[in-house]
Amino acid sequence: MQSSHPINIEALLTHIPLFNGLAPEEISRIARSTREITTNKGGILFHKGDPCTGFHLLVYGQIKLAFTSPQGNEKVVEILSQGQSFGEAVMFMDKPYIVFAQALTDSLLLHVSKAAVFDELARDHNLCRKMLAGMAMRLHHLMNDVESYSLHSGKQRIIGYLLRELNESEQNGTNVSVTLSTNKGVIASRLNLTQEHFSRILHELTELGLIVVEGRRIHIPNVANLRKHES
């Protein structure tokens, strides 16, 4: 489904870290092979096993990357928000997608053609270094996730998640709030927890007076007190 509102694709591409420093004519060439994709909440962008023909930039909305186990359980790998890109590594591997992508809200994306990126790589080897740096950063975040799942308790994971959602000025504040970006089941899966375990921990933190839960809104009376329970 195509967007009914034209957007400036070239301007959006300049904000992708991967393309920092590219000349206007280089951005223009890539833009000509870039298309808009709109999807409604619940829409599937691609399935596991689909061929990868490029990577995506999320202009607005929210996308989850996930896979389903043989037992039918869903594991959320990543929750993507505005301005994030995904699919670069798979594009280079020349293999099909190993996850599926589903919209958690109505979303608009750009699909950047693999062929256009490879053409620019042939012209500018600096782009290759930038892309490698971007993928290395993504791998670093993934390894941090693996460490968290392996070494941290469920309570530590949830507290860490809530603290990461605070802005800098709120990191040591009082009476601050976090609004969960999506439903608790998706966030629980992202933290490698069942929804029931996630809810039990929220209840435990509430009983300790560390948080107050109102739907998706989590009130934190004292951030420093919550942080003490993260270690």
Q: Where are the alpha helices (DSSP H) in 14-80?
A: 24-32
Let me know whether 132 and 31 are in one domain: yes
Let me know whether 146 and 164 are in one domain: no
pLDDT for residue 149: 65
Let me know whether 64 and 166 are in one domain: no
The predicted model scores a pTM of: 0.76
Let me know whether 59 and 128 are in one domain: yes
Let me know whether 49 and 131 are in one domain: yes
Q: What is the domain extent for residue 90? A: 9-151
> Where a domain ends, among 131, 151, 171?
151
Spatial separation of the C-alpha atoms in residues 19 and 89, rounded to whole Å: 15
> Where a domain ends, among 151, 178, 195?
151
CB within 8 Å of 75: residues ≥ 6 apart: 66, 67, 68, 69, 189, 192
Let me know whether 127 and 179 are in one domain: no
Residue 4 lies in a domain: no
pLDDT for residue 2: 46
- CATH, residue 164: 1.10.10.10
Let me know whether 147 and 217 are in one domain: no
Give 10-residue mean pLDDT values along the chain (231 residues).
67 83 86 95 96 94 92 88 89 90 96 92 78 72 70 87 87 89 89 91 94 93 90 71
pLDDT for residue 3: 46
Let me know whether 132 and 167 are in one domain: no
Residue 73 lies in a domain: yes
Residue 141 lies in a domain: yes
> Where a domain ends, among 151, 181, 213?
151
Is residue 75 a contact partner of residue 48, using CB atoms and an 8 Å limit?
no
**Beta-carbon count within 10 A of 17 CB:** 12
Let me know whether 192 and 85 are in one domain: no
- CATH, residue 52: 2.60.120.10
pLDDT tens per residue across span 169-225: 888 888 999 999 888 889 998 888 889 999 999 999 999 999 999 998 999 999 999
